[in-house]
Structure 1
């Protein structure tokens, strides 16, 4: 059991690394769409990204039988009741420990849909503010400030008792935060428009996105806990459907307020960039992200987001021939160190809990 939990955790880390790679690629694509392509429509792009989640419902509607999980639960209840009527008390006691856990572990379709409604606005808020920040600031600055989500996740998780606060985790957060400060300071020195009001707007939007990210990550872990409890395609499909149905009225409001004038993409290449980014950068990556979160913890995946900083730095060095300052390089290293510390601490905690659970089971 201990080895199985360890493999599960390592698998979650590997999935998280894939997500980080996709997110960095998506950030550069977004920056190109808003900057190089001069299509500054973050709300419309985020709306399209969110709508792709609705496609998760198509195979469910075609192949999934009505209330797929309900027959199993009903059969278990009926069996327990029938056996209770005809069998002895000893047999009832033998059956009872086996049935209730399976019934309680899974969320019903109704509960999943309710959770997706709670989640959808937080998710859209996080993605919209993050995408909008890329229209005002660089990928580096947006990525750096998004890493503040680690602090928000730890605080929110501690309040709702989803995360166990230890000195090692606090130290890891401090180390990562120090790295974020160094990278941010170096980035601001390098940007000639650092004091421009638009850059400040981008920074504030990134911080808002970090808060929303920490909030919805903690919400998912609090309400679900383990991926076996929920039908993930149904959950994401409903998130896309709710955002599609609830957020379209904002288009005329944003257009009237001149926050974002409504305009569809002007060329086929722009449509292609938006479409590929939607399906890879959102449709696929967020499915992998939620698996990684369930296999590890909200804090681990949040700290993992910080890995986008050194990765984005590498991309800028290789493809944009940008030479980082010494503060930037040291900050990136600190971010990576903080990520590995929190992972080692969490993995040790997983081992300890599994051992305690195994001892408890043996005693019982």
Structure 2
């Protein structure tokens, strides 16, 4: 998951001085008597382009990793439920989300292998110091931060994780419940409209300015999803009872779509380092947050399992044989997808990541055609091309926005240095 070279760099910098509250930069004095701000500018500005290219390359890698792992997870999960008959929706969600907790020890293992010469106690102390300084950066970048959060950053982290995990769990649960209430077409179309809600929430929560190119891109993506879902819809006329059930399912999955968009934006606002943070630090912190979400799920969200079993809504059964093997693969794929997806959000934006996730609709259709011979309909092709077009347009808009932010940051830093010299 993590780039080893980036981890080495950031772990080595974990003993850096505390960041000043105004700028989030060091204010130490270098060997020539210059302020840390001036020394930072000298060392940083020539490699800004290089750092940005590394950030874009890492984001592209996370995109490919998230798409591939999601397709693997989807195919195995469908086979487990449809063909093997282990249809335990909540239990599967609990197991897959709990598996995220393994990302943190896996990350520590990578660090241990890369730094075998360092005693593990010192390595762990350095790692925790980096996490603490990253939380400080997040708190200092948010002007609404309360003093008690600054004094107790890990309590802030736990509170935010509880919030985003709740939104994610409710959103995921609505999907599993609505599976048996509405049609697959409605389920796909409505749930994947979360890309629209991610953009809608980004405006008030992330202070994003409405931009025509982003709005058009999101709308094209939503249209693409609708084409895939309804373009070749051959559903027969439903009885009144089924229609009422479908309406309830659609309303339920609509709530899930809104909450999933909110989850992505809350994660970006509350748990992502500010722009300009090194990609290595972003990877480490995103993996850690994802692991914390998994830990919250593991220790708290087991409670509904016995309740579902006692009420008969979902009888608990231990998976065995082929089911257990494929379930392990599905869980592993989900952990990779979730970690890489949150890193993608951290490096880019919730809107771009959400639209990128829609690419999986087309990829799953292609995979079904190759592996199982299912027909690749014209609606799937047209809708997939629309989603790809929307993603390309949004990627271009996001890249321009990130480039402008970087240029503004360098310009502001130059002005600060000039003012200091005067």
Provide TM-score, normalisation by structure 1: 0.79
Alpha-carbon displacement from aligned partner over 1:86-143 (angstroms, at most 9, x marks no partner): xxxxxxxxxxxxxx97995799444333322222222323334445556677877655
Equivalent residue runs for 1:171-182 within 5 Å: 171-182=216-227
In the TM superposition, residue 347 of structure 1 has moved relative to its aligned partner by 0.5
Equivalent residue runs for 1:30-49 within 5 Å: 30-49=77-96
Cα pair 2:362 2:380 within 8 Å, conserved:
no
Measured in 2, the distance between the counterparts of 1:312 and 1:14 equals: 19
Cα pair 2:65 2:336 within 8 Å, conserved:
no
- Change over 3 Å in CA distance of 1:218–1:338 after alignment to 2: same
Of 147-156 and 323-332, more deviation after overlay is shown by 323-332
Number of residues paired by the alignment? 337
Alpha-carbon displacement from aligned partner over 1:155-196 (angstroms, at most 9, x marks no partner): 111121353320000111111111122111124x23559885
The equivalent residue for 1:15 is 62
Measured in 1, the distance between the counterparts of 2:343 and 2:393 equals: 21
The equivalent residue for 1:243 is 297
In the TM superposition, residue 340 of structure 1 has moved relative to its aligned partner by 0.7
The equivalent residue for 2:323 is 270
Equivalent residue runs for 1:1-364 within 5 Å: 1-56=48-103, 58=105, 63=120, 68=126, 104=140, 108-131=153-176, 142-187=187-232, 189-191=233-235, 206-226=253-273, 228=281, 231-265=285-319, 267-281=320-334, 283-364=335-416
The equivalent residue for 2:23 is none
Structural RMSD (CA): 3.5
The equivalent residue for 2:419 is none
Which one has more relative contact order, counting CA pairs under 8 Å at least 6 apart? Answer: 1
Measured in 1, the distance between the counterparts of 2:250 and 2:328 equals: 26
Of 191-200 and 244-253, more deviation after overlay is shown by 191-200
Structure 2 SS opposite 1:253: helix
- Change over 3 Å in CA distance of 1:70–1:318 after alignment to 2: closer
Measured in 2, the distance between the counterparts of 1:339 and 1:36 equals: 33
Measured in 2, the distance between the counterparts of 1:122 and 1:73 equals: 24
Measured in 2, the distance between the counterparts of 1:325 and 1:181 equals: 14
- Change over 3 Å in CA distance of 1:138–1:103 after alignment to 2: closer
- Change over 3 Å in CA distance of 1:202–1:38 after alignment to 2: farther
Cα pair 1:56 1:233 within 8 Å, conserved:
yes
- Change over 3 Å in CA distance of 1:57–1:361 after alignment to 2: closer
Provide TM-score, normalisation by structure 2: 0.69
